[in-house]
Amino acid sequence: MTARNITRFWEWGRKIICVGRNYADHAKELKNAVPTEPILFLKPPSAYVTEGSPILVPLYTSNLHHEVELGVVIGKGGTAILQSEAMEHVAGYALCLDMTARDIQDECKSKGLPWTLAKAFNTSCPVSEFISKDRIPDPGNVKLWLKVNDQLRQSGCTSQMIFSIPYLISYISDFISLEEGDLILTGTPKGVSAVQEYDELQAGIEDVVTMSFKVDRQDN
């Protein structure tokens, strides 16, 4: 079998595991309780979109929000991974957006239903180029930012995360075996807000990477 290219993980990775409310200020801005253990949800690989293609607003939402996040790309699979060994399973990172149909999420939450329609639609996971591990020596101290039409909306640091990357890898792998090419979205800082058709989103990890995406409307 041909060796798979981890730098193009979005072409063959099998799952995207997302962590909700991993920054206390973001939980509070949406009037949610600060979690005592990680909140997990999934996106399918069809959620991936890379630069050059637009983010498509689903027809069923009128309140699409941006959430900028550090993504962790798994390079070595495992189950019940120890925290002390977790970073050995990391191949690198990516800057990611967790696009969220907030109105649909609120409706699902009020009915006690899963968030799938709000989180897992096509183009709901824009990603940057692959970032090798050596370019982010301390993933627990990474500054993230996001602008909409050149206006700063989100600015935060992974040092504000409630649950660390090693903890998340260990916790997730107790329930869901991790595989090479999987992506973990580690949560978003405060400042989420709505985007509209024709908006341009720019996001970055300070001194490491930037990316930009245009917002378009899904065709009927």
CB 114 within 8 A of CB 20: no
Ramachandran sector of residue 111 (left: φ over 0; alpha: ψ -120 to 50; beta: rest): alpha
pLDDT at 1: 42
Averaged pLDDT, 10-15: 98
| Stated pTM of the model | 0.96
> Which CA distances in Å does 82 have to 29, 34, 77, 178, 215?
33, 25, 12, 13, 40
pLDDT at residue 139 is higher than 60 = yes
Give the mean model confidence (pLDDT) for residues 40-58: 98
* Distance, CA of 12 to CA of 5 (rounded, Å): 9
More confident residue, 160 or 28: 160
3-state secondary structure of 86: helix
The pLDDT of residue 96: 98
Per-domain residue ranges of the chain: 6-216
Mean pLDDT of the chain: 95
CA 122 to each of CA 17, 39, 83, 95, 188: distance values in angstroms, whole numbers, following the listed order: 15, 22, 33, 18, 20
CATH classification code of 6-216: 3.90.850.10
Helix/strand/coil for 48: strand
Rounded CA-CA distance 185/21 in Å is 11
For 154, the token pair is 């989100």
Average pLDDT score over residue span 151-177: 97
Rounded-to-integer distance, Cα 203 and Cα 149, Å = 11
Asked if the model's pLDDT at residue 87 lies above 60, the reply is yes
User: What pLDDT score was predicted for residue 24?
Assistant: 84
